[in-house]
Amino acid sequence: MYFPIADVFGNRSFQKKVTVSGYVKDRETGEMLVGATIVIKGTGKGTVTNVYGYFSIEIEGENQILQFGFLGYKNLEKEVGESSVITVELEPITQELGEVKIKGEGNVHSSRYPLIGLEKMESSSIRTIPVLMGETDPMKAIQMLPGVSATSEGSSNFTVRGGNPDQNLLLMDEAIVYNAGHLLGFFSVFNNDAVKSIDLYKGDFPASEGGRLSSVLDVHTKEGNMKKVKGSAGIGLISSRLNLEGPVVKDKSSFFVSGRRSYLDLFLPLAPDEEIHDNKLYFYDANLKFNWIVNEKNRIFLSSYIGRDVFSDKLAQLDYGNTTFTFRWNHVFSPSLFANFTLVRSRYDYFLGTTENDIDDLEWVSQFNDYMLGADFSWYINPSQTFRFGNRTIYHRIDPGDVSAMDENSLIQSIKLPRNNSLEHGIYISHTSEVVPWLVLRLGLRYSLFQNIGKGKLFKFDDSYNVVDTIYYSSGEIFNEYHGLEPRAGVSILFSSRWSAKLSYSRTRQYIQLASNSTSSTPLDVWFPSSPNVKPQVADQVSLGLFHSSRNRVFENSVEFFNKWMENTIDFKDHPDLILNETIESEVRQGKAWARGFEIMSRWNTIRFNGWVGYTFLKSERVAPDINQGRPYLSHYDHTHDLSAFMNYRISSRVSVSGNWVYYTGAPVTMPVGRYEVSGESVPLYSERNGERMPDYHRLDLSLTLRSKKGGKKGGEWIFSIYNVYGRKNAWAINFVSDEENPYKIRAEKTYLFSVVPSVSYKFEF
């Protein structure tokens, strides 16, 4: 390892300093490259581009050479003398065999970046993973990573390190997504065609983010081609998709539009049951984006997501969906001070109504509205030191439920659960410094403040959770506050260019949670915030990671240990009443939780082969009053062993095959230990919550990708895939039923959703 002695004594400070800043882009599309590395040749010092593709680096001495690199792109060297603002365009390596070797040379710097528990995935690699019904889904791709798994078979919902699904912060272009499922959660709202990249933080959260205990899933959508108009379309079993992107003014502004709609409902008239022929059953969504480079110092992004699911039959209709709108303004105050200002509106709502054309027809509406204002600053002092600071303020406005008659003459009066208003603020500062070339330190501090504001209605409960008093607050009145510091710290040590270790600590606070005790959320679940009756959830996590890469960086291996302590975690009493319940807080039981374990990941990346094997060992426990008689019990998401393997093999430039295999220990469930009879009804008797386990889960999926002669960049692409190749009947639910011949005999019956599911999808560009 190279130690520049001069640095240590600061001798070079006499030399001339220049600051080079600017953007790194894709040469063909003009899309910003996030996380591209910039290294001062010969020094090993460098920086990476931020989420907007911006970098700033201070250089000592004249005529230095900067090396720009990004995985999958050709490296580029540029000599710089004076302080300047530059735009660097990197050329993507076309995926032809025998061409340039794809190597992560650019990654020299990445092992030094002290974030552990961070996983990055690009839209293009997500596409190679075989999935259910061929419907590429970023949420299902991340379930393949260690520490992450699906909440139940086929679900796009995920759990991180045994935490609840509502402990994941889902961000789409900085807008929080509150219900990420389509079709009861089997598919996610993230359309992979519109996704550029996703970052999943499961250990060391960046100081800028907070509000959830388990993870932050940061999804960036595509900005649109700045050079030329392009389009693509895809057809699959579940949905078809259309994407269009291009410049409005070349190299100045661009748009991206992506839409998809499912067409399951088209097959309903073929169903044997005539009653369902007129049913509706579909979802659609659209991603819209516009970005405009005003000048060297200013850039504006507008992005929006609109999605909806619609189900109806002769009795009732249900529709629900998310709408988000994000406005972002990048401003470069000086080459070393970069700022981003964000304005977000995010909304989730559902409508449930009867369709009987009866005087008693009802409609039931629930809405969740979020307004967020944020500012983030990056101050690049020198290549060894960066400060980031900023703030976020979110206004949550929740209308949990409003049921009213559709007919004016109806005698039915409306019932309306009171609106709930709250504010969530966070300010943060973080500092990354290269203390010595082999030691990088990242210190962050976040301070969060939560306020319940009027107009509001607060219930006071006695020890048995009966309402003893009701207090009304007037509009704008702050009637409750919680606040606290959330320190984050990380240290990276480079033992050599191939070995490094990272240690991190983070504290997070969660002020809003989902009222659901099922293992997979339904569209009807509502979020509820902290209040005088519900304390904020707090988590402390320590992780230690060890990283190794082979000499040519074909293999990258890591092992990471984590230990997590959580307080005031949310659970619900036995048989809770969570729907349309004004006093839902009386159903909450807050307790403690722990999770510990380790994750092993081995990735390899050669011209023909790429893939990974991830293994997780996990123990996740909870305790809460009144639940399991106050004794600790396992989390439903405690999968002791969880193994995911993915492999992609390129047979030729036009043909590739992929496969993945998933295995995890069956989820803990509560099973009866006896039964008894009361008033003609057989009643099960349970001993311990989650004391037994479902059968172990495993599954193999395969896919074959065929590209047309023009290659991967242009033209068509067929993907044939088989989900659950060997037809493992994984139990989705276990129920107990009476034997038909002997009603006294009770038998266990499992329900499984999918046996072998073949699918085909086609995508082409134009």
Partner 1 sequence: MDGSKNAYIVRHRLDFKNKFTDCSIGVMLFLKNLSFCLLLFFSSCTEYIDIELETTSKRLVVEGMVMSDQEYHYVRLTQSIPFLSDTISPPVSGATVMLSDGDRNEYLSESDEYPGYYISLGGIVGQPGKTYSLFISEVDINGDGEDEVYSASCYMPSVTQPDSIRIVYDDSWEVWKVLLYAKDNPDTDDYYLFRIFKNRTLISDRLGEYSVVSDQFFDGGVANGVWVQSIADSEDHEVFSVGDVITLQMCGITKEYFEFIEAVQEENRFRYPLFSGPPANAEGNITNGGLGFFAAFSAKYATFEFDETNLVK
Q: Which residues 346-375 are close enough to bind partner 1 by CB under 8 A?
A: 352, 354, 356, 360, 362, 364
Radius of gyration of the chain measured on its C-alpha atoms: 27
Interface mask (CB under 8 A) for partner 1, residues 629-648, using x and -?
Answer: -------x------------
Q: Choose the binding region for partner 1 from 117-125, 288-296, 547-555, 677-685 (rule: CB under 8 A).
A: 677-685
**676 lies in the site for partner 1, by CB under 8 A:** yes
Which residues ranging from 580 to 599 are in contact with partner 1 (CB under 8 A)? 580
Q: Which is nearer to partner 1, 152 or 508 (CB)?
A: 152
**Kind of pairing between the strands at 537-549 and 499-510:** antiparallel
- Shortest distance in whole angstroms from residue 493 CB to partner 1: 43
Which residue number, 10 or 674, has a Cβ lying nearer to partner 1?
674
Q: Footprint of partner 1 on residues 157-176 (CB under 8 A)? A: none
* CB of residue 321 to partner 1, shortest distance in Å: 16
- Residue of the chain from 87, 414, 552, 652 that contacts partner 1 (CB under 8 A): 414
Nearest to 189 by CA among 107, 277, 287, 276: 287
CB of 217 to partner 1, least distance (A): 21
Phi and psi, residue 185, nearest 5°: 90, 0
- Would you say how long the chain is, in residues? 766
Question: How many other β-carbons are positioned within 10 Å of the β-carbon of residue 748?
Answer: 10
Q: In DSSP terms, which residues pair with 623 in a beta bridge?
A: 592
- Whole-number Cα distances in Å, 305 to 169, 180, 287, 293, 295: 17, 12, 5, 22, 27
Q: Which of 1, 82, 681, 709: binder of partner 1 (CB under 8 A)? A: 681
Cβ atoms of residues 458 and 467 within 8 Å: no
CA 105 to CA 554: how far, in whole Å? 11
The reply to whether 625 sits near partner 1 by the rule CB under 8 A is no
Residues numbered 167-226 forming contacts with partner 1, rule: CB under 8 A: 183-186
Q: Cα–chain-centroid distance for residue 708? A: 33
Least spacing, CB of residue 131 vs partner 1, in Å = 14
Residue 235 in contact with partner 1, rule: CB under 8 A? no
Residue 662 or 667: the one with the smaller Cβ distance to partner 1 is 667
Q: How far apart are CA 44 and CA 50, in angstroms?
A: 19
SS3 labels along 611-636: EEEEEEEEEEEEECCCCHHHCCEECC
680 binding partner 1? (CB under 8 A): yes
What letter does residue 32 receive in the DSSP assignment? Answer: B
Cβ contact 369:347 at 8 Å? yes
| DSSP E strand stretches across 355-477 | 362-382, 385-405, 415-416, 420-436, 439-453, 456-461, 467-473
Question: How many other CB atoms are there within 10 angstroms of residue 530's CB atom?
Answer: 25
Distances (CA, A) of 704 to 572, 613, 712, 722: 45, 20, 14, 9
Q: How far apart are CA 657 and CA 720, in angstroms?
A: 10
| Closest C-alpha to 332, from 140, 149, 87 | 87
Nearest to partner 1 of 8, 468 (CB atom): 468
Strands 298-312 and 655-664: unpaired
1 contacts partner 1 (rule: CB under 8 A): no
Using CB under 8 A as the binding rule, whether residue 465 contacts partner 1 is answered as: no
Residue carrying structure tokens 């499922």: 181
Task: Assess 747 for contact with partner 1 (CB under 8 A).
Answer: yes
Residue 436 in the binding site for partner 1 (CB under 8 A)? no
Question: Which residue among 250, 684, 706, 714 contacts partner 1 (CB under 8 A)?
Answer: 684
Choice between 399 and 692, CB closer to partner 1: 692
Q: And the tokens for 503?
A: 């240690």
Closest by CA to 180, choosing from 655, 521, 584, is 521
Closest CB to partner 1 among 74 and 280?
Answer: 280
The footprint of partner 1 on residues 394-413 (CB under 8 A) is: 403-405, 411-413
Q: What does the H/E/C string look like for 682-708?
A: EEEEECCCCCEECCCEEEEEEEEEEEC
672 binds partner 1 (CB under 8 A): yes
Considering only residues 706-735, where is the footprint of partner 1 by CB under 8 A?
A: 729, 731-735
**CB of 56 or CB of 690, closer to partner 1:** 690
* β-bridge pairing 118-122 and 84-90: unpaired
Beta-ladder partners of 707 = 717
Name which of residues 281 to 320 contact partner 1 (CB under 8 A). Answer: 281, 311, 313-316, 318
Give me the half-sphere count of Cα atoms (radius 13 Å) on the Cβ side of residue 42.
7
Give the pairing of strands 168-172 and 215-221: parallel
Nearer to partner 1, 83 or 517 (CB): 517
Q: Nearest approach, Cβ of 744 to partner 1 (angstroms)?
A: 5
Q: Quick one: which of 82, 273, 274, 408 contacts partner 1 (CB under 8 A)?
A: 273
* Region binding partner 1 by CB under 8 A among candidate stretches 241-249, 531-539, 708-716, 752-760: 752-760
User: Which of 12, 462, 745, 766 is close enough to bind partner 1 by CB under 8 A?
Assistant: 745
Site for partner 1 in 55-114 (CB under 8 A): none
Q: Which of 675, 710, 713, 714 binds partner 1 (CB under 8 A)?
A: 675
Contacting residue, 100, 229, 415, 471, with partner 1 by CB under 8 A: 415
2 versus 267: smaller Cβ distance to partner 1: 267
Residue 683 touching partner 1 (CB under 8 A):
yes
How many residues make contact with partner 1 (CB under 8 A)?
A: 96
Q: Which is nearer to partner 1, 24 or 362 (CB)?
A: 362
Residues of this chain, 236-265, that bind partner 1 according to CB under 8 A: 264
Smallest separation, CB 349 to partner 1 (Å): 16
- Tell me the C-alpha distance between 673 and 498, whole Å: 54
Q: Tell me if 753 contacts partner 1 by CB under 8 A.
A: yes
Question: Which residues share a beta bridge with 129?
Answer: none
Task: Supply the minimum distance, in Å, between the C-beta of residue 585 and partner 1.
Answer: 16
Smallest gap from residue 170 Cβ to partner 1 (A): 19
Instruction: Give the sign of the dihedral formed by CA 572, CA 573, CA 578, CA 582.
Output: negative
Identity of the residue, 89 or 688, whose beta carbon is nearer to partner 1 in the bound complex: 688
For partner 1, the closer of residues 600 and 734 by Cβ is 734
Q: Where do we find the tokens 């004391």?
A: 691
Site for partner 1 in 519-578 (CB under 8 A): 519-520, 522, 524, 572, 574-576
Q: Which of residues 108-147 bind partner 1 (CB under 8 A)?
A: none
